[in-house]
Amino acid sequence: MYENLIQYLRAATVAAFPNLDGHDELDAEITHWVHSNRLNMMRDVDGLSGALGNALSLFRQEQNATYEDILGELRFSPAAQPAFNFIDLFAGIGGFNLALSVNGGNCVFSSEWDKSAKKTYFKNYGKVPYGDINQFTGEGITEEELDSWIPNHQVLAGGFPCQPFSHAGVSARTALGLAHGFDCDTQGNLFHSIAKIAFVKQPEVVFMENVKNIVTHNGGETFDTIRNTMEQLSGGREGKQNYRFFHAIINSETEVAQRRVRCFMVCVREDIWQEQGDFVFPEFLGESIALREAIAQAGTTPDEAAEYTISDRLWQGHIDRTQRNLARNTGFTAHEANLDRPSNTIVARYGKDGKECLIPQEGANPRKLTINECRVLFGYPDNFWHPEVKTPAYKQFGNSVVVPVVSRISESITNYLQIAVEDGLQVVNA
């Protein structure tokens, strides 16, 4: 019924506003409106909100359904009484969304450019993310426009891609002092979008994730730029505040059966820090989880195992390249996984040849992880929707955060902010 509602609202919108037909962000605007009764990019379209409200009322009457009935059909429906609002940037398939929602959060804005990931996000959470975040933060976008387009929120979350940073020697304070501008060290990089939104919207916490190597990238200058940008974000502007920067390098192997090491950053607005003190990351202690436990949890059948078994040609190619690369002490190697240890890091290109994690099989070539086993290795629930086609599914999981890790950090953030969580994410078996 939910997807029928979105189709109904889209048809009603196009009938009333023909100029919006084919608009790249129409589905994003409608789905966000359904959850928040708020327009973002199309706030200036006179009469659109009223038209959507009328169409929603007609649909409910025709279906004899309440608003709660409709949202209740989502695999992960919103919290009945959310404790705080957050935005989900570079959203992927919604690992931050799941983790923050379980801890009482309400996602009021999401953005993701990959079309396949956007479909997965919609299938699970009922929102189509907006596309390129530069529509909201890029050159020529004023602070007033950004402020009106992006809803207020307490937590800004995003696992931004790491791109080379330029002008590393320029201080953020000097750059932020420019008129109209946010032409800082991060211009041209996707972290720039996070920084600009944080500057304008001033959330209490900015919660980011990236590869562990971001700390040492470019001799540490990249990380220094990120830290300095957040610590000097106000640029001395009246009414704006700086952020205190905290980070931790965290290995996921005690939460899931995957050795995935990532850098997590939590930036606390200075007035909150003055009240609460330093943010402390949770500790991830205990024994690592064996890969065989994830395989058992996934319940892989013999037929599935056969489907994912690699060919003689591919396996021989792995063997030959491994021997050559070991001899010259450079390049990748491909070995069968040790099932008593966590898997290696699963990357977006895993579907190409599976070399990062090959499951040994008695009397047969090794096999790749099944898509469902990947789901388990990233901590997504049983009823999480993902593509059946292998290539996009591997890519989406390989680009994802590990949900249990982000969930524990999210819990620490809500505790730090003294947010009382009464009713977290509602999980529907679908």
What CATH number does the domain containing 331 carry?
3.90.120.10
Look at residues 73, 101, 135 and tell me which one is the last residue of a structural domain. 73
Q: Are residues 66 and 98 in the same domain?
A: no
Q: Which residue segment(s) compose the domain that 134 sits in?
A: 82-286+400-427
Q: Are residues 91 and 223 in the same domain?
A: yes
The CATH number for 179's domain is 3.40.50.150
Task: Assess whether 267 carries a catalytic annotation.
Answer: no
- With a CB cutoff of 8 Å and minimum separation 6, the contacts of 364 are 309
Average pLDDT (405-415) is 97
* Predicted local distance difference test score (pLDDT) of residue 166: 27
Number of domains in the chain: 3
Q: Are residues 260 and 330 in the same domain?
A: no
Q: Are residues 69 and 93 in the same domain?
A: no
- Confidence at 328, pLDDT banded by 50, 70, 90: confident
Amino acid found at 274: Q
pLDDT for 168 beyond 80: no
Q: Are residues 160 and 99 in the same domain?
A: yes
296: tokens are 């058992």
Q: Are residues 142 and 28 in the same domain?
A: no
| This prediction's pTM | 0.90
How many angstroms separate the CA atoms of 4 and 379, rounded? Answer: 30
Look at residues 73, 97, 115 and tell me which one is the last residue of a structural domain. 73
For the stretch 211-238, pLDDT in tens is 999 999 888 888 998 999 999 999 999 9
Q: Are residues 93 and 200 in the same domain?
A: yes
Q: Are residues 244 and 341 in the same domain?
A: no
Q: Are residues 101 and 250 in the same domain?
A: yes
CB 350 within 8 A of CB 398: yes
Look at residues 26, 42, 73 and tell me which one is the last residue of a structural domain. 73
Q: Are residues 224 and 372 in the same domain?
A: no
* Predicted local distance difference test score (pLDDT) of residue 423: 54
- Out of 107, 162, 267, 357, the active site residue is 162
Helices (H), 126-237: 134-137, 143-149, 172-176, 191-201, 221-231
